[in-house]
Chain A
């Protein structure tokens, strides 16, 4: 069964510092992986996704993630944090079974950015 684990429920960085949010997946088949962002009192918004092809995926707002099969990881990074990046971030895997497909989410990581 496919699943994701997000390491660290809370990450704090200073404005301008590197952002690194960790996600490891478990899947017996090649996974489809996603990162979503949730701002307060909002729904989830797609940041980026990995399906096939290039393992370094670029998303919106300067975020990118690298799919590493050998490490079963899909960590999210941004070179320089901005105050507006403060939000909750979710990693997700697309679960495929006989019943169909659905997105299964990790527990989320809250990113705080200080000035």
Chain B
């Protein structure tokens, strides 16, 4: 398996623009997570899905952030409008099943820079 695939790897955009980050989870995994990593706050859980359904979005910082999972093989994280403080590395991860004892598999991340 190719693992969790994220695109793009790098994104530079101007403040106010819409940004869409994409994720393809590992086939057969039915839990998907979006994390944000910054120097100040570390790894923050933004939202996660089970069987394509959003379960907990309490980590989404503002209404400017939205996430969707239209099917089992694709998810998006959208920021509209983007702001410089959104600059971070965004990771997608997937997990087989819903068991608390299973590990999550991470993608390579998308480094977002908002100027």
Contact = CB atoms under 8 A, between A and B. Distances in A.
A103 interface: yes
Contacts of B35: 105
B45 A102 contact: yes
B42 A96 contact: no
A44 B106 contact: yes
B75 interface: no
For B4, B42, B43, B104, the residue with the greatest tally of chain A CB atoms inside 10 Å of its CB is B43
Contacts of B105: 46
A104 interface: yes
Interface residues of A, number: 26
B18 interface: no
Given A32-B101, A43-B107, A100-B48, A105 B4 contact: no
A103 B104 CA distance: 8
B100 A43 contact: no
A34 interface: yes
Given A100-B55, A100-B98, A102-B48, A46 B103 contact: yes
Interface residues of B, number: 25
B43 A108 contact: yes
B108 A101 contact: no
B91 A106 contact: no
A39 B106 CA distance: 13
A101 B106 contact: no
Given A49-B103, A105-B42, A108-B42, A42 B50 contact: no
Interface of B: 4, 31, 33, 35, 42-43, 45, 48, 50, 55-56, 91, 93, 95, 98-101, 103-109
Interface of A: 32, 34, 36, 41-46, 49, 51-52, 90, 94-96, 99-108
